Amino acid sequence: MLISKFIRRCLLIFPLLVLLPSSCSRNTEAVIDQQQTVVPAKPIKIVTWNLEWFPGKSTSASLEEKQEHMEQIRNAISEIDADVYLLQEVADMDSMEELFKDLPGYEIHIVSSFRYGNFIAKQQVAVVSRLPAISAFAESFVSTGGTRAPPRGFSFAALQTQDTNLLVYTVHLKANGGDPERNIRLREESARQIVKHVNDMLKQFPDSLVIVGGDFNLLLTQAGMEHERTLEIFKEAGFEWGWEGVPFEQRITWPSNGRYPDACFDMFVTKGVSGENRVLGGYEGLSDHLPVMLNLTFL
C-alpha cells in the first residue's frame, strides 16, 4: 500500500520527463506507474486538514503524546473515509507511513521536505489518496523580483478518474505572526506562483480539473485585512472559492482558543469543477483546525 523508502529513492532518480519546469523550486518528486487501473466514475470526497504539528500537537511532545495523537488522527481518518486527503503540518514521510499503515487502499503520493534555513522543517504538506497518480511532487515557493520567498510551498499530484484527471494541490500559506502587511504580500505571491504552476500543468494535462486545498491563513473578516488579494488572484485566474456565499458561522475551521477569535483558515479553490464544501464537526481537540470536506460528483 505505501511507497517504501527504497522505491521512493528510485523514483527520485527518474523524474517524469513530460512535466514542464515551473517558477517554483522542486525539492521532492515521485513518479507513479501510469499503467494503474483507473477508478470508475463516482462521487469523490476530498478532505483538507491541518493536523497541528503532527504527530504530537507541539514541537516538544513526548513519545506518549505523539503516539496518542497518531492513534486519534488514524481513527478520525478511518471514520471520515475520504478518497483524497490534503494534509498540512505533518512531520515527514515516516509519520505518514505510520498513520496510513493500517488503512487499506491509500497511497502516499507525496510528502514535501521544505527547509527552514539549513534544516528540514517540521511542518510539511502531503497528498494521500485512493486514486492512481500519474505524477506527484513538491515545490518550494521562490523569491521573485528580489523579494523574500514565501515560506514552504505546495505538494502536487495528478490523479486519475475514469473520465478526467484531477490536479490537486495542498498548501499551507504564510501564518499571521509578525507584520500583517508582509504576511499579506507573501500569501499573495504564493497564490501567483500556484496559479502559474497550474497553468503549466494544464498544458501537460489538458481539460483536467484543479483542486487547491489547505490552510490559507486568511483573516477575511478581520478589520484591516480587507485589502488582501490572495483569493482575488485565484478568482481572476478562473478559480471558484468553495466558501462563496456560506455564512461565516458555518465555515469556522479554527475555533477560538480564547486568545484569538474564530477564523476560517481552511478552504478549497477549484477550477473546472465545484462541489459542496462543509466543515466536519466532531473532531474538536484533535487539532486546532477542523477538517473541511469537498464533495465532487461526476455526471
Pairing of strands 119-120, 115-116: antiparallel
Measured distance CA(100)–CA(41) in Å, rounded:
24
Nearest to 209 by CA among 163, 141, 153, 276: 163
Continuous H helices in the chain: 5-13, 63-80, 93-100, 180-204, 230-236
CB 50 within 8 A of CB 78: no
Single-letter code of the amino acid located at 146: G
Measured distance CA(65)–CA(86) in Å, rounded:
23
CB 159 within 8 A of CB 133: yes
Pairing of strands 84-90, 44-54: parallel
Q: DSSP labels for 184-253?
A: HHHHHHHHHHHHHHHHHHHHHSTT-EEEEEEE----TTSTT-TT--HHHHHHHTT-EETTTT--GGG---
> What integer pLDDT is reported at residue 29 of this predicted model?
53
Nearest to 213 by CA among 266, 159, 143, 140: 266
Helix axes 63-80, 93-100, angle to 10 degrees: 60
User: Could you identify the residue written with the cell 525539492?
Assistant: 27
Measured distance CA(218)–CA(216) in Å, rounded:
5
Pairing of strands 84-90, 124-129: antiparallel
Angle of CA points 210, 211, 215, to nearest 5°: 150
> What integer pLDDT is reported at residue 17 of this predicted model?
35
CB 270 within 8 A of CB 294: yes
Q: What is the pLDDT along the chain (299 residues), one digit of tens a residue?
A: 444 333 343 333 334 434 444 445 555 555 444 455 554 457 899 999 999 999 999 999 999 999 999 999 999 999 999 999 999 999 999 999 999 999 999 999 999 999 988 899 999 999 999 999 999 999 999 999 878 899 999 999 999 998 899 999 999 999 999 999 999 999 999 999 999 999 999 999 999 999 999 999 999 998 889 999 999 999 999 999 999 999 999 999 999 999 999 999 999 999 999 889 999 999 999 999 999 999 997 65
* Domain residue limits, the chain: 25-296
Which CATH number applies to 25-296: 3.60.10.10, 3.40.50.970, 3.30.43.10, 3.60.21.10?
A: 3.60.10.10
